[in-house]
Chain A
Amino acid sequence: MVPTSYYLGLSAILFGLGVVAFLFKRNIITIFMAIELMLNAVNLAFVAFSQALGQLDGQVFVFFVIVVAAAEAAVGLAIVMLIARNRQSLNVERVNLLKF
C-alpha cells in the first residue's frame, strides 16, 4: 500500500509545477493547461485523503471539480478564441488593457 504522504508529495509537486508554469509561460494555451494541472493536483490530494480516511466525500468532490473544470474549459477556450482573433497573438502580455 502506497502511503498517503507519497500521493500528497506528488500532488504538491504537480501543483507547484502548475503554479510555476502559470507564472512563467506566456502562451495562453499553456497557461490554460497549467490551470488544469493544478486542478488535477488537487484532485489527486482529494482522492488520496478519501482513500486514507475511508470515506467517499473526497471522490464526490473530485467529480465536482471535473465538472467545473470542463465548464471552465468551455468558457475559457471561447475567451482564448476571441483574444486570438482580436490580438492575432496568444501572448498573454499583450492582453493588458484592464489596468489603472
Chain B
Amino acid sequence: MPLLDHLWIVLALPLAGAGLCGLFGRRWSQTLVNSVAVGSVSLTFLAVLEVVREFTLGAPDHARSFFPWMMAGPFRVDFALQVDQLTVVMLLVVAGVGLLIHIYSTGYMAHEGGYYRFFSYMNLFMFFMLTLVLSANLVLLFVGWEGVGLCSYLLIGFFFRKKSAADAGKKAFIVTRIGDFGFTLGVLLAFRQFHSVDYHAIFSAASTMPVEGAGHYGVLTAICLLLFAGAVGKSAQLPLYVWLPDAMEGPTPVSALIHAATMVTAGVYMVARMNVLFVHAPLALMVVAVVGAVTALFAATIALVQTDIKKVLAYSTVSQLGYMFLACGVGAFSAGIFHLMTHAFFKGLLFLAAGSVIHAMGGEQDMRRMGGLRTKIPVTYWTMLAATLAIAGAPGFSGFFSKDEILFQSFAGPLANRALWAVGLAAALLTSFYMFRLLFLTFHGAPRYDEHQTHVHESPRSMLVPLVILAILATVGGWLAAPALWRGANHFDDYLDPVFASANAVLAMSQPLNLPAETHILEIELMALAVAIAFVGFLVAWWFYLRNPRTPERLASNLHAPYELLLHKYYVDEIYAFLIVRPLLWISTNLLWHVVDTRVIDGTVNGVAHGARGAGGRLRQIQSGNARSYAAWVVFGAVLFTGLLMGLLRMVR
C-alpha cells in the first residue's frame, strides 16, 4: 500500500494528536500529553519521509482526489492532495522543524499551565500547515491558510490572562484578515478566468496566455496582485507587517515554529506555487520584488535598536521574508524557496536559542540586562553562534548560499534590478550588524544582571538536542547549492526545476540572460562583496558593543532624532492607530453604535414592542369581563360585516 495514494494519513496523524490532546489532555499527565503530541508529529515526520521516498522513486505526481468537497454548478472543489518537488521541500521543512520544536517545547513549556492546550494547538497547526502545503487546489490551500492563522491566533494569545497577549493575538488575526480578503478575491477571480481552482487546470490554461507586458495589464496581473495581498498579510510584509513583532507575546517555541520557520513563509510558498501566473504578469512580479526589498531594508533598520531579544528576531524575520519575496520577484523562485528552507533552520534555531536564553535568565527578555552568558550556557551560545553566522552570511554557512543566490539573481537574473540589489545588500549589512549586536549583548561582555538573584542555568536536554540538530542543519543546509561555486550543479535548483521549468522558460523568452560567459566571475565578485559587507557589519557591531561599549549611547544622543524614529519603529503603529484604528473606532462608536445600533436597530425593535404594548393596553379595556358587552361587540361586528358585505355586493352588481 503506497502511502503516496493515501496522503490523507499525513494529515490525519497530527489532527488525531490535536483531537486527543484537546479532548482528554486535561486529565492526562504531562508525560502522556508529551508522548501523544510528540508521538503524532514523529509519526507524521516518518510518514513524510516515506512519501518523499516513494516520490523520489518515481511515483506519478498527479493530484489525488479523495472526495468531492463542494459542488455548485460548474464550481467544484475536491479534497485533493498532491506531491511534487516543491511540496517535498516544504513537507520536510514543516515536518522536520515542527518535530524538533515539539521536542523542544516539552522542555520549555514544562512549567507552564495549559500544557495540553498548548500541544493540542501545536498539533492542530501542523495539520493545517501540512494541508496548506499538500493541497492541490486554491480553496484547500486557503483552508490551510486560514487554519494556520487560527492556530497562530490561539498560540499568540496562549497566555490569555495577559491583556497584551490577547490583544496581540487579535491584532495578528485582524491584520492578516485584510490580506486574506485580497486572497479570497484572487481565488474567485482565478475561478472566473479559468473555470477551475485546481492548480493543474489553472497552470495549463495560464501557460498558454500571453505575457501581460507594459500597458496591457489584464486579469493575470489582477489575480497575482490580489493573491500577493494575501501573502503580504500572512508573511508580514509592508504595509501589513505590524502584527508579527507583537506576535512575540506567544511562547517562544510558537515564535520559532509559526512566526519564523513555517507559517509566515506560507506567502512565499504560495507565490512560488503560483509561479506560472506570476511570470505572465511582470508588473505583479515587480511589485513583489519591490515590496520584498523595501521590507527587507525597512525591518532591518528597526531591528538595529530593539532591546528585546525576541523583537530583534521578529524584525529580522520580517526582513528575511522580504529577501524571499525579492527572490521570487526577480524570477528566482528556487532561490526564494532555498532561502525559505535555510531560514527555517537558522531562524528557528535563533528563536529556540533565544528561548533557551530566556529560560536560563528566568524570563528576562531585555538584552540590556543580560551579557556574559557565554560561559554559563555554552551549548546555547555555540548553537546561536552558528545561527548568527548563518543569517549574517558567513562563508560556508547555510544563509551564505541562499542569500548570495538571491543577491546574485537580483543583480544578474532574468528580471534583475540593480536598485533592488543595492537595497538587498544594504539590508545584508544591517542584518550582520544587528545579529552580532544581539550576540554580543547577550553572551559577551560583563554581566549586567544581578548575579545573586538570577540563577543562570543551562536548559534541559530536551531543549538542547533540537538546538544542536538545528545548528547542524543551519550550518550544512546550504551545501546543496555549494557545488555551484565550482561551476558544478546547484542541486537544490536542479531538484526544483520541474516545478519552475515552464516559468523559467517564459522568463528566458522575455528577457534572455545576456552575460553567460562572465556570469561565474561576476558571481564570485558579488559573493566577495556580500561577504565583505557582512564582515563590515560584524566589525561595526564588535566596535560598538565589545570594544567601546559607550559608543552606542553617544551615537544615540548625537543622532537623537533618527534614533528615536527607529526606537519607535518609525511610529508605524501610531500612524496606523491615528489613520485607521481611531477613525474606525470613532465611526463605530459614534455612528454604528450610537446611531445605527442604538437608535435605528434598537429603536425599531423597541418601538415595535412599545407600540404593541400601548395598543394592547388600550385594547384590553374592551375585555371588561361583562358577557353582555362582549355580545354587544359581537353584534356590532356582525352588523358591520354584513353591512360591508352588502355594500360590496351592491358595488359588484
- Complex-state Cα separation, A73 to B100, whole angstroms: 92
- Complex-state Cα separation, A45 to B621, whole angstroms: 36
Residue contact B624 to A96, C-beta cutoff 8 Å: yes
Kindly report which residue of chain B lies nearest to residue A98, judged by CB atoms.
B625
Residue contact B632 to A97, C-beta cutoff 8 Å: no
Contacts A19-B635, A23-B635; A92 near B628 (Cβ below 8 A): yes
Q: State which residues 613-636 of B face A: CB under 8 Å.
A: 620-621, 623-628, 631-632, 635
Residues of A within 8 A of B625 (CB): 95-99
Residue contact B621 to A100, C-beta cutoff 8 Å: yes
- The smallest C-beta distance from A79 to any residue of chain B, in angstroms, reads 11
Kindly report which residue of chain B lies nearest to residue A26, judged by CB atoms.
B628
Most B-side CB within 10 Å, residue of A22, A23, A24, A100: A100
Report B135-177 CB contacts with A as 1/0, cut-off 8 Å: 0000000000000000000000000000000000000000000
Residue contact B620 to A22, C-beta cutoff 8 Å: no
Kindly report which residue of chain B lies nearest to residue A99, judged by CB atoms.
B625
Total interface residues in chain A, CB < 8 Å: 13
How many A-B residue pairs lie within 8 Å, measured between CB atoms? 29
Across the interface, A100 reaches (CB within 8 A) one of B620, B627, B631, B635, namely B620
Residue contact A92 to B620, C-beta cutoff 8 Å: no
Residues of A within 8 A of B623 (CB): 99-100
* B interface, over-half SS: helix
Residues of A within 8 A of B631 (CB): 22-23
- The smallest C-beta distance from A7 to any residue of chain B, in angstroms, reads 19
Q: State which residues 21-75 of A face B: CB under 8 Å.
A: 22-24, 31
Across the interface, A23 reaches (CB within 8 A) one of B620, B624, B632, namely B632
- Complex-state Cα separation, A15 to B628, whole angstroms: 16
Residues of B within 8 A of A22 (CB): 628, 631
- Complex-state Cα separation, A54 to B626, whole angstroms: 43
Residues of B within 8 A of A92 (CB): 626-628
- Complex-state Cα separation, A24 to B627, whole angstroms: 11
Contacts A100-B620, A100-B621; A95 near B627 (Cβ below 8 A): yes
Report A75-100 CB contacts with B as 1/0, cut-off 8 Å: 00000000000000000110111111
Contacts A22-B631, A23-B631, A23-B635; A96 near B621 (Cβ below 8 A): no
Residue contact B627 to A99, C-beta cutoff 8 Å: no
- Complex-state Cα separation, A19 to B632, whole angstroms: 9
- Complex-state Cα separation, A76 to B631, whole angstroms: 16
- The smallest C-beta distance from A96 to any residue of chain B, in angstroms, reads 4
Kindly report which residue of chain B lies nearest to residue A100, judged by CB atoms.
B620
Residue contact B621 to A23, C-beta cutoff 8 Å: no
- The smallest C-beta distance from B619 to any residue of chain A, in angstroms, reads 9
- The smallest C-beta distance from A19 to any residue of chain B, in angstroms, reads 6
Residues of B within 8 A of A23 (CB): 628, 631-632, 635
Kindly report which residue of chain B lies nearest to residue A22, judged by CB atoms.
B631
Residues of B within 8 A of A31 (CB): 628
Residue contact B620 to A93, C-beta cutoff 8 Å: no
Across the interface, A96 reaches (CB within 8 A) one of B620, B626, B632, B635, namely B626
Kindly report which residue of chain B lies nearest to residue A35, judged by CB atoms.
B631
Residues of A within 8 A of B624 (CB): 96, 99
- Complex-state Cα separation, A92 to B632, whole angstroms: 14
Residues of A within 8 A of B621 (CB): 100
- Complex-state Cα separation, A40 to B326, whole angstroms: 100
- The smallest C-beta distance from A88 to any residue of chain B, in angstroms, reads 18
A-binding residues in B (CB < 8 A): 620-621, 623-628, 631-632, 635
Q: List 15 A-B contacts (CB under 8 A).
A: A23-B628, A23-B631, A23-B635, A31-B628, A92-B626, A93-B626, A95-B625, A95-B627, A96-B624, A96-B625, A96-B626, A97-B625, A99-B623, A99-B625, A100-B620
Q: Which 5 A-B pairs have CB atoms at the shortest separation, nearest pair first?
A: A99-B625, A96-B625, A100-B620, A100-B623, A99-B623
Other than the known A19-B635, A23-B632, A99-B626, what 14 A-B pairs have Cβ atoms closer than 8 Å?
A22-B631, A23-B628, A23-B635, A31-B628, A92-B627, A92-B628, A95-B625, A96-B625, A96-B626, A96-B627, A97-B625, A99-B623, A99-B624, A100-B620
